[in-house]
Amino acid sequence: MMQEITLNAQTRDTGKKGAKATRNEGFVTGVYYIKGEENISIKVKPIDLRPIVYTNITKIVQLNVEGHAEPYQCLLKDISFDPVTDAIVHFDLLGLKKGQKITVELPIKVVGQAVGVRLGGKLMHTLHKVKVHSLPADLVEAFEVDVTKLNMGDSIMLSDIDFGNMEINLPLDTNIVQVTRPRGGTVTTTGTEAAV
């Protein structure tokens, strides 16, 4: 089950002038969209977006739009930051509809400390997200990868993850994380040191 979070929003004027006026008021511009329906241009307070943006898991957003009777269930699809201040300037929310598949990126979380790292190796986490095509009910917050048993030279690939009914767009032999040997260093083995 994915965590849910509530986001309160107001409708806003569209176009460049409308967006500029919205930002001058201290709001962030956004758009809610869903296949087959009209987009809703919205604005929210920057602080309200933080729990949705600055997180390592994916959350279902219950969007409450002022003047609309029912909330909209959605996911954060895209976000833009100011190149200078790094402040959030725009976001897109993808609406969820029961029985309709969507394509989203889900994070890959690495947990544990690898045996190989304790012996002097280096943990290389090369794949941090994976794009999936799935029904909303089958989505997860994140894919958790336990690296505790990884020894020197070991790796974990996408084939090691249970995706359930989700479809992915990458080969199953794509590497997620591996423990590499230090260059020109030494590796500790049962209390002794061996040259690499």
- Count: domains in the chain: 2
The residue from 45, 65, 97 where one domain ends is: 97
**Nearest partner of 118 among 175, 189, 177, judged by Cα:** 189
The last residue of a domain, from among 50, 82, 97: 97
134 contact partners, CB below 8 Å, separation of at least 6: 101, 102, 104, 165, 166, 167
- Output the pTM of the full model: 0.78
Does residue 115 sit in the same domain as residue 189?
yes
pLDDT tens-digit profile of 31-79?
999 988 999 999 999 999 999 999 988 999 999 999 999 999 999 999 9
Q: Which CATH number is 63's domain given?
A: 2.40.240.10
If asked whether residues 18 and 60 sit together in one domain, one would say yes
Q: Is the pLDDT of residue 90 over 70?
A: yes
Can you give the residue range of the structural domain that contains 85? Answer: 4-97
User: What's the pLDDT score for residue 196?
Assistant: 38
Judge if 118 and 163 occupy the same domain: yes
From 54, 72, 97, the end of a domain falls on 97
Q: Are residues 156 and 79 in the same domain?
A: no
Summarize pLDDT for 149-158 with one digit per residue, the tens. Answer: 999 999 999 9
Q: Domain check: are 93 and 131 in the same one?
A: no
Q: Which of 147, 144, 139 is nearest to 161 (CA)?
A: 144
